[in-house]
Amino acid sequence: MRLLEMKINSSPPQHTDVMIFDGYFMLYLMKNVPVTFDNISIQFLKMICANSANTIILTFDRYIFPSIKDTEHKIRGMQLSNFSISGSEQVRPTDFTGEWKNVNFKEAIVRFFFDHWAEDYMAPYINNKTIYVNADACHKYIVRDGKMIRSIEHQLTCPSHEEADTKIIYHICKLQSDTNVNIRCFDTDILVIIIANMSNIDKNINISMQVGVGNNQRFININHLYETLGSDVSAALPAFHAITGCDFNPAFFRKGKKRPYLMMTKNKEFVNSFIAMSTSSESREDLFDKIQEFVCRLYGFKKINDINEARVATFMRNYKVLGNNNVFRLTNKTIDGSALPPCKVELQQQFLRACYIAQIWAHAHLQVPSGETPSVRL
């Protein structure tokens, strides 16, 4: 995110018509959490309505099993303990933040919001705003004659979207008129996804992202950034971000994002290869060969295009053979095995995961972003 931000100068938007929130991110930001669930619901609703926008869009992750994120969920200590909310005055768990590791708790509180916000006494908090809440379905809330009216928006319901990130972009692409949108989040993935889908927005929509917390809060002008990057680099970002390290995929040890990004943007073939990773294909052998070449360049090899050869060459830089016994000894005192390039078998899996992720991100404007499954093979 910082790397892309540096390419433009941004300022806060002068006017916001539509405010979009990553729901779980906003819940995580809540301070002085009330004791009972009805008060949590009221405080949260007041929190997301505390702006001048006429339309509020709130998106939540869904938890689908099996998922491409199963490994990441395990690393984060995700749990599936039983939890239900039986009434408004039910007392929340003492460790409210710690309970976020429990999927059933997260889904229960969202379901509670669905029903609680439909009560007529919640009307003053919503007032003249229109609120969309998208989780398993998209719920719409408006106030008419002091009464709450809730409905299901089938066109905006997107059960094939697992993450709030892609739902945010789907909602933007479904806006019916020219408008000013502000996205409140803190996620590089969302920035990458919206940049990649800017070409699918057919209305005059000005988009900004409000990121960071506390003194680090800032705005990113998405339209300006898209124009600066250009359509090709923007379309290449999902696959590039996915294969160089994201929540779904490992990063290349100590390679970061800056140098790989500069390598990609200076080579048209690399850009086209990353774009191609976002499209469905029966055969990806030739494409994988080009990604191998990119990774070899990333590890400093200008003439080697096979990742296994690059791995051996890296090993030989640090070891030498002693005598005729084929005994290897370090030329330096230490070596970190993490500095070795991945082997071809591992890189193939990383490549396939990146293709799957990139397809979903690049097609976030669709109700069904990908027809493939996490078990796709090379």
Measure the CA–CA gap between 45 and 56, rounded to whole angstroms.
10
pLDDT band at 330; cut points 50, 70, 90: low
In a domain, 100, yes or no: yes
Which pTM was predicted?
A: 0.91
Asked whether residue 292 carries a pLDDT value surpassing 70, the answer given is yes
* 12 C-beta neighbours (distance < 10 Å), count: 12
Asked whether residue 329 carries a pLDDT value surpassing 80, the answer given is no
The range of the structural domain enclosing residue 132 comes to 2-227
Domain end: 227, 260, 289, which one?
227
Asked whether residue 3 carries a pLDDT value surpassing 80, the answer given is yes
* Average pLDDT in the chain: 92
So what's the pLDDT on residue 323? Answer: 60
CA proximity to 349, closest of 297, 307, 305? 307
So what's the pLDDT on residue 331? Answer: 60
Domain count, the chain: 2
Helices (H), 86-181: 103-116, 123-126, 164-173
Query: To the nearest whole percent, how much of the chain has pLDDT over 70?
Result: 94
Between 30-34, 37-41, 117-121, 131-135, the lowest mean confidence (pLDDT) is in 30-34
Say whether both 215 and 263 belong to one domain.
no
So what's the pLDDT on residue 362? Answer: 97
5-20 average pLDDT score: 94
**Sign of the Cα pseudo-torsion (100, 30, 112, 157, in order):** negative
So what's the pLDDT on residue 66? Answer: 79
Say whether both 145 and 39 belong to one domain.
yes
pLDDT digits (tens, 9 = 90+) for 100-113: 899 999 999 999 99
pLDDT band at 337; cut points 50, 70, 90: confident
Asked whether residue 374 carries a pLDDT value surpassing 90, the answer given is no
pLDDT digits (tens, 9 = 90+) for 123-166: 999 999 999 999 999 999 999 999 999 999 999 999 999 999 99
Measure the CA–CA gap between 127 and 52, rounded to whole angstroms.
12
Radius of gyration of the chain (CA): 24
299-326 average pLDDT score: 84
So what's the pLDDT on residue 282? Answer: 66
Assign residue 81 the CATH number of its domain.
Answer: 3.40.50
pLDDT digits (tens, 9 = 90+) for 163-203: 999 999 999 999 989 999 999 998 899 999 999 999 999 88
364-376 average pLDDT score: 84
Query: To the nearest whole percent, how much of the chain has pLDDT over 90?
Result: 76
So what's the pLDDT on residue 239? Answer: 97
Say whether both 76 and 176 belong to one domain.
yes
So what's the pLDDT on residue 324? Answer: 64
Say whether both 301 and 181 belong to one domain.
no
In a domain, 369, yes or no: no
Say whether both 202 and 255 belong to one domain.
no
Asked whether residue 224 carries a pLDDT value surpassing 90, the answer given is yes
In a domain, 272, yes or no: yes
Helices (H), the chain: 2-5, 23-29, 37-49, 70-75, 103-116, 123-126, 164-173, 188-196, 222-229, 231-243, 258-265, 268-276, 285-298, 307-318, 344-362
59-68 average pLDDT score: 87
